[in-house]
């Protein structure tokens, strides 16, 4: 078959005869080129519609299945890794918590040389609450006082300094300064001066984060300007438990410090007169 024969086929026509019921007839002549072009256009349209269906309908899940099993395996590996990471994070948090407890007990034993450091570490790591007046010099002193004078029932509570640092402002009720200020670094641990019930733990505009603890014998301690609070209202805390961390919160402050107050029977008293380990 030569080129002339091929061109003759392309120039040929196909006749389509339509026979209508009323007896009429119509003949349509279609060239080979037009028929090929028609089918090519139909093919392109079909290809485009198929692409749209595959791209925007659920058919893509049936048609596109490239490495589906491998993807599942990778997803399972990722999930296993995430589970292991969560377990490791939990263990790290537990280790971090124990390290913080050891750090706080070191601070406590450093600030209060009258407390047995081994006893403090043991108590801080126990999960159950402990009595701060058992197993140390406080218990001995308390029993000695009771044996000497049974009428001194009011002397059953002792206050320790709430944080490290020096006193940078003294008590002066005449000018409205109802406590003493400890100069300390930002985020220094703030400790409960004595055991008691927290009656307030929240933010105030003037004094920032504040904690108030109600103690036996109508005593009340107040801790102001904390950066972070770790205890909530209605929680019972023991002596030397961490209440939060020092800061510079509130409008009534010019730098990181702790404002500490002690109230007795509704009246402020100078903490210097009652803190047993102020050391100044």
Question: Could you report the per-residue pLDDT of 75-85, keeping only the tens digit for each?
Answer: 888 888 888 88
Across the range 97-106, mean pLDDT stands at 57
Q: Would you list the domain boundaries of the chain?
A: 3-61, 120-148, 166-273
Fold that domain 166-273 belongs to in CATH: Glucose Permease (Domain IIA) (2.70.70)
pLDDT of residue 104: 53
Strands 236-237 and 219-229: unpaired
Ramachandran bin of 135, using left for φ above 0, alpha for ψ from -120 to 50, beta for the remaining angles: left
Of 52-61, 73-82, 101-110, 263-272, which gets the smallest average pLDDT?
101-110
The pTM (predicted TM-score) of the whole model is: 0.47
- The answer to whether 271 and 222 are in contact (CB under 8 A) is no
Q: Give the model confidence (pLDDT) of 202-244 as tens digits.
A: 999 999 999 999 999 999 999 999 999 999 999 999 999 999 9
pLDDT digits (tens, 9 = 90+) for 125-141: 444 444 444 444 555 55
Query: Residue 210: CA atoms inside 13 Å, Cβ hemisphere, count?
Result: 19
State the average pLDDT over residues 93-97.
Answer: 68
H/E/C letters for each residue in 112-174? CCCCCHHHHHHHHHCCCCCCCCCCCHHHHHHHHHHHHCCCCCCCCCCECCCCCCEEEECCEHH
Question: What is the C-alpha separation between 257 and 186, in angstroms, rounded?
Answer: 8
Could you tell me the pLDDT band of residue 114, with boundaries at 50, 70 and 90? very low
Question: pLDDT at position 278, please?
Answer: 79
């Amino acid at each position: 078959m030569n080129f002339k024969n091929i061109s003759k086929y392309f120039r040929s026509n196909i006749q389509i005869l339509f026979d209508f019921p009323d007896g009429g007839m119509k003949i349509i002549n279609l060239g080979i080129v037009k028929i090929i072009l028609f089918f090519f256009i139909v093919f392109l349209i079909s290809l485009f519609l198929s692409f749209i269906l595959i791209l925007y309908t659920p058919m893509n899940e049936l048609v596109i299945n490239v490495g589906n099993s491998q993807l599942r395996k990778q997803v399972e590996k990722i999930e296993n890794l995430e589970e292991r990471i969560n377990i490791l994070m939990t263990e790290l948090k537990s280790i971090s918590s124990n390290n913080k407890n050891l750090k706080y007990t070191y601070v406590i034993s450093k600030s209060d040389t009258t407390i047995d450091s081994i006893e403090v570490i043991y108590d801080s790591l126990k999960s159950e609450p402990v009595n701060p007046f058992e197993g140390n010099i406080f218990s001995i002193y308390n029993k000695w006082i009771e044996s000497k004078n049974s009428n001194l029932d009011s002397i059953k509570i002792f206050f320790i300094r709430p944080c490290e640092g020096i006193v940078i402002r003294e008590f002066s009720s005449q000018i409205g300064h109802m406590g003493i200020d400890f100069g300390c670094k930002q985020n220094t641990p703030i400790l409960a001066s004595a055991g008691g019930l927290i009656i307030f733990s929240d933010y105030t505009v003037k004094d920032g984060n504040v904690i108030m603890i109600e103690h036996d014998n109508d005593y009340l301690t107040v801790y102001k300007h904390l950066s972070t609070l770790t205890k909530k209202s209605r929680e019972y805390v023991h002596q030397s438990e961490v209440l939060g961390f020092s800061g510079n919160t509130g409008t009534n402050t010019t730098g990181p410090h702790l404002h500490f107050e002690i109230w007795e029977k509704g009246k402020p008293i100078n903490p210097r007169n009652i803190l047993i380990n102020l050391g100044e």
